[in-house]
Chains A and B, each alone.
Chain A
Amino acid sequence: MTEPLIRHYGPKAYSDHPPFSYPDYKSTVLRGPSLDLLTIVQTLSETTGPGPVWTEVSEEDADLTTNAGTGETAIGERIIVTGRVLDENGNGIPGVIIELWQANACGRYVHWRETEFPAPLDPNFIGVGQCVSGEDGEYRFLTIRPGPYPWGNHPNAWRPAHIHFSLMGPSLGSRLVTQMYFENDPLFGFDPIFNSVPEHARHRLVAHYDHDVTEENWALGWRWDIVLRGNAATPFEEQGE
């Protein structure tokens, strides 16, 4: 019988991620595990994952300026967000499902939760999209630059503008949900969610303006690469085949 392929992933770099409890972000205090994680061996259950089984992605869903399907275009500053999904060795990872969600240009989400923030909705913007990374791990979205918005964590709390990203990598351990920010945001210093990330790693969440991505008379370009846990190099078992 053909044997399964067990890829061994290196240990997760916990020092590059936020702690479970970060008291400045108040909701974390009661919601992260208080006991140590229990280290287990990697089995097929950990080295496989849901990423590769997803196929339902339409190209239209990478264009958030029109995917509301109204025939009209969303209002706001049109931007291109592009980059590559990479493993820790810098190799592009193809076939990664990337889903995103975000506020509109005014800082308002299309969501049933109530908000006291009097910002308008845009009937032509639903704020969600998805795409699959290409052969070299590349991805690209057309969207509207989201606005900052207030939240209830502390007095006069505002989130820096950000786009939520969800990535389904090749294995369970490469699952990543994160947020992309825009360089030079004046709100960075005030945001406990951004600052929950150890200082040396914060810059990895920040997209940079790239004039080579910007398209004349159309949209400004932002570049952001995403590094997933893992090493996609050819595993030992396959060498010599």
Chain B
Amino acid sequence: MSRLGETPSQTVGPYFSMRLSAEGENVLTNRDDRIVIEGRVTDGAGSHIEDTLLEIWQAGPSGRYNHPDDRRELELEPSFTGFGRTASDFETGEYRFETLKPGRVPDPEGAFQAPHISLIVQGRGMLNPVFTRIYFSDEAEANADDLVLRSVPQPRRHTVVADLQEESDPPTYRFDIRMQGDDETVFFDF
């Protein structure tokens, strides 16, 4: 049977927030042990991008995904979907998520990946989505063993590691997204 061609991607345009990224969609939990991920999205000129759509997808604290293909007998909090989305701020390009730190998910070689969150970035002026991962600076040991992170050239690895802010409460990780230029964020194909 001949394969059908994929429907091509188009930009989300300037008006996606009519529907996508409604208020509260960036808050995945109100638990006391929640973490904050925040950062700024910038373009190739270093200017903030005022209209990007940011979507995250992650496992829960046990390392299990809330998804029918993940049938491992690990704890799954029904109210924690692992999905969130938000828009970068029009004036500053900043975004923020409140979520739980994910547990470790297996890799295809039988080892465990370092805790990470998948991130999809789209926006006006972006004709395709880009995919990256958010790792955590306080997981140095796990990061050093991570199959995906090890494949990132060393000088670029820091672009996918969120920095834990000193004395932040709740623990707040900084993850800036640079679409181009010095320290361009690593984007993945899979």
Contact = CB atoms under 8 A, between A and B. Distances in A.
Contacts of B129: 175, 177
Identify the interface centre among B13, B107, B126, B128: most chain A CB within 10 Å of its CB: B128
Nearest to B126: A31
The 9 closest A-B pairs by CB, nearest first: A27-B125, A50-B83, A18-B127, A30-B44, A48-B67, A37-B189, A30-B43, A31-B125, A179-B10
18 contacts: A16-B5, A17-B8, A26-B125, A28-B127, A33-B179, A37-B188, A37-B189, A41-B107, A41-B148, A45-B65, A99-B19, A128-B18, A166-B12, A178-B8, A178-B9, A179-B10, A204-B6, A205-B7
Nearest to A39: B189
A2 B9 CA distance: 36
Nearest to A49: B57
Interface residues of B, number: 73
B6 A229 contact: yes
Given A18-B8, A25-B127, A3 B72 contact: yes
Contacts of B181: 34
A215 B124 CA distance: 36
Q: Which of A4, A13, A89, A196 has the most CB of B within 10 A?
A: A4
Contacts of B16: 101, 164, 166, 177
Contact of A7 (B9, B69, B118, B126): B69
Interface in A199-241: 201-202, 204-205, 226-229
B184 A33 contact: yes
B7 A43 contact: no
A32 interface: yes
A57 interface: no
A202 B57 CA distance: 30
Interface string B65-81: 11111111100000001
B18 A38 contact: no
A75 interface: no
A90 B83 contact: no
Interface of A: 1-7, 9, 12-13, 16-20, 22, 25-35, 37-50, 52-54, 86-90, 99-101, 109-111, 113, 126-128, 130, 164, 166, 172-173, 175-179, 193, 196-198, 201-202, 204-205, 226-229
Among B6, B49, B68, B147: residue with most chain A CB under 10 A:
B6
B147 A50 contact: no
Contacts of B73: 1-2
A45 B133 CA distance: 10
A53 B66 contact: yes
B37 interface: no
Residue of B10, B106, B151, B185 with most chain A CB atoms under a 10 A cut-off: B10
A35 B45 CA distance: 15
Given A27-B124, A28-B126, A53-B82, A46 B12 contact: no
B15 A22 contact: no
B90 to A, nearest CB: 8
B165 interface: no
A228 B6 contact: yes
Given A44-B65, A49-B67, A177-B12, A227 B127 contact: no
